[in-house]
Amino acid sequence: MIELEQLQHLVTFQECQTLSKAAKQLHISQPVLTRSMQKLEEELEVNLFNRTKNKIAFNETGLLAVSLAKRILDDTKDMKKQLVDFDRKLHTFAIGSCAPAPLSYLSRKFSQFYPQRTLLTEIKDMYILIKGLKEKDYTIIIMPYDIENEQIESIPFMEEQLFFSLPLNHPLAHKKSISLKEMDGEKMLLMSNIGFWNDMHKKTMPHTKFLIQNDRSVFYDLVELSTLPSFTSDYVMKTEIMPQNRVIIPISDAQSHATFYCWYLRENESQLRTLLYHL
């Protein structure tokens, strides 16, 4: 049977033009190449070269063989790549979320129960999440409302309440609670990549200019050093150290509260049971 190694030799030979150069490039000795090419000709039952005493050159058939060999070698390299990709996808647990807090929570849970598995997490728009769940790009998606149908099941696992974080000398700093509307129009600091909260802010506070920060530590520095109002949440306050020069005031609107649900395909229920049980 022909072997891929021989085809690789053939292609390298063609690229290098002489057996000796090809041998160097392949890190083998010339005699090996001589024999390899002889064997290939035997197995293919065709002459691939014009040989003189100390010269060996490709004939037409040989050149055709090179082009066919290249294709086969490419295919096998592709094969490996495809399999590795497929396998990774198979063993990767992908979580898509509409917000950062529940994703952070679920990630931690996940790594407790499946420490060896690869985890992929994303914050995306909700319509993308739903599409991705159906197409099995996500094993689980995190949504701020529930659902129940033939394919999809959802279970609630976490709540999050937003607060305003105001500097001590802010005019509203003394209040017990503040509505979104009351704050609308002020400049505010905001983290980027906060999922559906972003949409909520834009809708409920259309006159506010949000100063978006990508970097979390820069965001915290700005919160501490500037006098700009910002948002925080009960989850963030539990998990992060909060600055001292701020007043935390509840937001009165219902939109500032979310219940997060795990959505998953019923067909995957068995493999998810452990995780779901411990949420």
Partner DNA sequence: AAATGTTACGGTTTACGTAATTATC
Partner DNA sequence: GATAATTACGTAAACCGTAACATTT
Query: Under the rule (CB under 7 A), what is the footprint of DNA?
Result: 18-21, 27-32, 34-38, 49, 51-56
Which C-beta is closer to DNA: that of 8 or that of 104?
A: 8
Provide the terminal-to-terminal Cα distance of the chain, rounded to the nearest Å.
Answer: 56
Q: Which does 118 bind (CB under 5 to 8 A by kind): a second copy, DNA, none?
A: none
Query: For the packed helices 60-91 and 4-16, what is the interaxial angle rounded to 10 degrees?
Result: 120
Based on DSSP, count helices (H) and strands (E) in the chain, helices before strands.
11, 11
Which C-beta is closer to DNA: that of 52 or that of 244?
A: 52
Q: Which does 34 bind (CB under 5 to 8 A by kind): a second copy, DNA, none?
A: DNA
Q: CB 233 → a second copy: shortest distance, Å?
A: 40
Which C-beta is closer to a second copy: that of 64 or that of 279?
A: 64
Residue 225 CA to residue 168 CA, distance in Å, equals 12
Residue 58 CA to residue 277 CA, distance in Å, equals 67
Q: Which does 79 bind (CB under 5 to 8 A by kind): DNA, a second copy, none?
A: a second copy
**What is the three-class DSSP state of 150?**
coil
Q: Which does 131 bind (CB under 5 to 8 A by kind): a second copy, DNA, none?
A: none
Which C-beta is closer to DNA: that of 48 or that of 258?
A: 48
3-state secondary structure string across 263-279: EEEHHHHHHHHHHHHCC
Tokens of 272: 């998810």
The closest alpha carbon to 258, from 94, 103, 93, belongs to 103
Q: CB 44 → DNA: shortest distance, Å?
A: 15
Q: CB 50 → DNA: shortest distance, Å?
A: 10
Q: CB 47 → DNA: shortest distance, Å?
A: 11
Q: CB 217 → DNA: shortest distance, Å?
A: 49
Residue 67 CA to residue 76 CA, distance in Å, equals 15
Which C-beta is closer to DNA: that of 54 or that of 244?
A: 54
The β-bridge partners of 261 are 143, 156
Q: Which does 71 bind (CB under 5 to 8 A by kind): a second copy, DNA, none?
A: a second copy
Question: What would the DSSP string read from start to end of 200-266?
Answer: HHHHH-TTPPEEEES-HHHHHHHHHHS---EEEEHHHHHHSPPPSSEEEEEB-SGGGEEEEEEEEEG
Q: Which does 228 bind (CB under 5 to 8 A by kind): DNA, a second copy, none?
A: none
Which C-beta is closer to DNA: that of 58 or that of 210?
A: 58
Chain length of the chain: 279
For binding to a second copy (CB under 8 A), which residues are involved? Answer: 1-5, 8, 43-47, 60-61, 64-65, 68-69, 71-72, 75-76, 78-80, 82-84, 86-87, 90
Q: CB 88 → a second copy: shortest distance, Å?
A: 9
Q: Which does 212 bind (CB under 5 to 8 A by kind): a second copy, DNA, none?
A: none
CA 144 to chain CA centroid, nearest Å = 21
Q: CB 166 → a second copy: shortest distance, Å?
A: 54
Which C-beta is closer to DNA: that of 39 or that of 124?
A: 39
Tokens of 265: 């395909």
